[in-house]
Structure 1
């Protein structure tokens, strides 16, 4: 059967590969324009908030109000929550790259509200999701096949992160290293084209200015300075572990407390506002403070304090569900830790060293590699942001050591932690898992499947999912009970714990809480484990003995 979907551009003029590359450029341009508007909206709201914050009472309330309203947007559009990277990976592995276009305006609005009001998170990760959402929408308009849709989503993600950072190489490497989790030659060319075109588009409007200006970075060659960089790498790995465990602690504690959607972010905003009232540098993205640190405007003691406070407020904000990215706070913590460690070492052990700016950049690379487990991205990001090759060797040392130390003390990266907290695991069963643990998608029946006579599931606006009884005419509906839905990439033991109390469990999309993908029943679980209707074990198709 031929694909009935419209295929814009189908014809003899361009091959499929050429159309794919043209689409990558279009994705980059569109993503760059959206990121320009995104930055402008955040800056406008931040400017208005700074004027209102002249009154101490409002200074405390503004982050809380912004976070609370942003949380309501997330409640309306669940994919708008979090940083955006996990949602993009979920779409790639679970939904074949399909992201609802509503995720783009939802993420845009939620993060403008939270970041513009002073939430200590960043815009880079949300830009990644918006880029992937734009790519998904354009891919559907161009009538791409399912396989092509899976390839086009990382293209948009790279365009988003590259435009937000103004660094094309960083965008490409991060998507390959973290989102795609491998160097896929089928997608590499389109990722590069999208990243470059998005950065060019962004620079046309915002200029070539980097996130922060970097002074002259002296070369580090002496043995004492190289040893000091190893020490900084150790500190970066330990600090990255503290950062991840802080996020884990907040999310775990709050996960046991069921609060209305906006209450957690509002309370977190109050905490952020109180801290920000005393030390404003921890609010927002922190790029101005990083610029100041690179130009020797802080003592090493102050930078150490700022690093600790940023970890605390970022963990509270992100852990309570406030939308925003983790890139900016991670870079902030790394720069301040590098400044504090470098200042301590140069004050007491290396008084003749002039490598303080190098320590700040190297600390940024080390903490980033430890938190995200992406050392290659950390090195090239440092090079692109600094614009000098002198920063590469120090970044290589600290990112490698920081990565190894952080992995030793905490096996999960921050993104893996968030994904596991949400019940996700990558890659999905449909990629390669012939004998691994079963997941919901392995046992999922079609959405039209009923459990028993006329028993199915329905979504009731404002009330969630319910088990319902449908009359013989298909019209009459009787609500029986509320039931918690599951996601296709969760382990199968999650719905198994709920089935004794409910005859049927809805399986929903992580990108749209109202979209029913399928259902789980007792029969579907038995089939997944290889039992037939009479309860006898039957051979699996992939069993060598079958």
Structure 2
């Protein structure tokens, strides 16, 4: 398939006439509805598998030795199956779909055919449901883009409008993945195309609107995380949250480097087939799941516990250490799965640890440790991805804590500054070259 053209530097709002813009707007609503249905089903199936995994591990503890072997073998096999599916499909379905989507938008890779959808759907369920520390937004973003590309081709959109719908479909996937429609639309402009474009904005808003409307019929309209009403922090305590942002910035640099080096380590194991590498990683994840069922998976349970203060200070070092290793290890397995959800879990723990270790800061800010959890989530996401507006809006929509804008703003400011001064690239920029290389070997 021929490579798609990158987005032109300037795309007039009515390029091709008002009719083509109206066609793009209507098709964005239609496409978004389909994305909402597919990703809504994906989320429901993933929730079922996550619950089944936890229950199965509890059941297996009846037999200490046999149960341990059974859990390790099950996670290893589901991980290996997901990697096998990716390898046999010939589709760029490994890892997060976001670097691939960005490469397509830039014209560096062709868009994948509709076959990518079932590979990403089934592979994502196998890998994330099996226990890998990967986010549901990775498959969701790439599935959304894949559906948008399919309908753009069917309805014969122009090259520019196909790219606009493609990018918008990605944002709709993120919207449904986290029940965050505004974050999905902003993500398209801030991260994927990195500029404001009227046609893309219209398409992004349309797909996110209809996607979340359909998905809410299946998933409900409540925020993903339950958070108690928090006090309004003082406007004059920003430097306290900036300190948290500095810490998150340094941690983000370390995490990005760890992901890159772990992937490079396993990529260098050329004597091992990809499925064998995935089998080994899955067995390690299974061993962790045996001793700590809530330490594995995407990380939503960890984030939710941190947001209600349900994690003690003594447990935080172990959780952070395990998740720092588990996330990069899971990503190196070559299965479908994203980075956002694991990043949010780590950010929540970093923020909670800061709030518990610095009670005087908490008292001076007129806040609670939960305020630092929310600021930590936004800051760590900013430090790794370098998309602060998307991060803050995402946390707003996932928690409903709209009065915590000032802490998030200060923390994100510092978390954006530190890695930039250190010359550390955003994680998706770093992984894009690897994604292009993997995709070209599978063509």
Q: TM (normalized to structure 1)?
A: 0.73
3-state DSSP of counterpart to 2:314: helix
The structure whose residues are more often strand, as a share, is 1
State how far apart, in whole Å, the 2-side matches of 1:280 and 1:405 are: 34
2:181 paired residue number: 168
State how far apart, in whole Å, the 1-side matches of 2:375 and 2:253 are: 17
Match of 2:74 among 62, 65, 70: 62
1:401 aligns with 2:414: yes
State how far apart, in whole Å, the 2-side matches of 1:364 and 1:58 are: 35
Cα contact 1:90–1:510 (8 A) shared by 2: no
Match of 1:228 among 218, 240, 261: 240
1:384 paired residue number: 397
* Map 1:192-231 → 2, pairs under 5 A: 192-221=205-234, 223=236, 225-231=237-243
Q: CA RMSD in A?
A: 2.0
Match of 1:106 among 86, 108, 119: 119
Higher RCO (CA-CA < 8 Å; seq separation 6+): 2
* Map 1:401-420 → 2, pairs under 5 A: 401-420=414-433
Cα deviation, 1:194-251, whole Å, max 9, x if unaligned, reads 111111111111101222111112221164x433211100111011111111111111
1:513 aligns with 2:442: yes
Q: Give the C-alpha shift of residue 303 in structure 1.
A: 2.6
Counterparts in 2 of 1:350 and 1:123: CA distance versus 1, 3 Å: closer
Cα contact 1:91–1:511 (8 A) shared by 2: no
Cα contact 1:97–1:149 (8 A) shared by 2: no
State how far apart, in whole Å, the 1-side matches of 2:433 and 2:263 are: 11
3-state DSSP of counterpart to 2:228: coil
1:7 paired residue number: none
Q: Which entry has the higher C-alpha Rg, 1 or 2? A: 1
3-state DSSP of counterpart to 2:106: helix
1:288 aligns with 2:292: no
Q: Give the C-alpha shift of residue 350 in structure 1.
A: 4.5
Cα contact 2:306–2:349 (8 A) shared by 1: yes
Counterparts in 2 of 1:388 and 1:50: CA distance versus 1, 3 Å: closer
Counterparts in 2 of 1:191 and 1:350: CA distance versus 1, 3 Å: closer
Q: Give the C-alpha shift of residue 257 in structure 1.
A: 1.5
Cα contact 2:345–2:377 (8 A) shared by 1: yes
State how far apart, in whole Å, the 1-side matches of 2:427 and 2:75 are: 24
1:24 aligns with 2:24: no
Match of 1:339 among 352, 356, 360: 352
Match of 2:269 among 244, 257, 262: 257
Counterparts in 2 of 1:124 and 1:65: CA distance versus 1, 3 Å: same
Cα contact 2:238–2:406 (8 A) shared by 1: no
Q: Which moved more, 1:408-417 or 1:193-202?
A: 408-417
Counterparts in 2 of 1:97 and 1:171: CA distance versus 1, 3 Å: farther
Task: Name stretches of at least 5 consecutive residues in structure 2 with no aligned partner.
Answer: 1-17, 61-67
State how far apart, in whole Å, the 1-side matches of 2:124 and 2:289 are: 19
Q: Give the C-alpha shift of residue 363 in structure 1.
A: 0.1
3-state DSSP of counterpart to 2:225: coil
Cα deviation, 1:129-163, whole Å, max 9, x if unaligned, reads 00000000011110122222112101111111111
Q: Which moved more, 1:271-280 or 1:314-323?
A: 271-280
Q: Give the C-alpha shift of residue 94 in structure 1.
A: 2.3
Match of 1:76 among 85, 88, 93: 88
The structure whose residues are more often helix, as a share, is 2
Q: Which moved more, 1:314-323 or 1:197-206?
A: 314-323
State how far apart, in whole Å, the 2-side matches of 1:311 and 1:372 are: 16
3-state DSSP of counterpart to 2:41: helix
Task: Name stretches of at least 5 consecutive residues in structure 1 with no aligned partner.
Answer: 1-13, 425-486, 488-508, 515-546
Counterparts in 2 of 1:189 and 1:214: CA distance versus 1, 3 Å: same
Cα contact 1:99–1:137 (8 A) shared by 2: no
Counterparts in 2 of 1:183 and 1:308: CA distance versus 1, 3 Å: farther
Cα contact 1:61–1:270 (8 A) shared by 2: yes
Match of 1:371 among 349, 373, 384: 384
State how far apart, in whole Å, the 1-side matches of 2:78 and 2:286 are: 11
User: What is the aligned residue count?
Assistant: 415
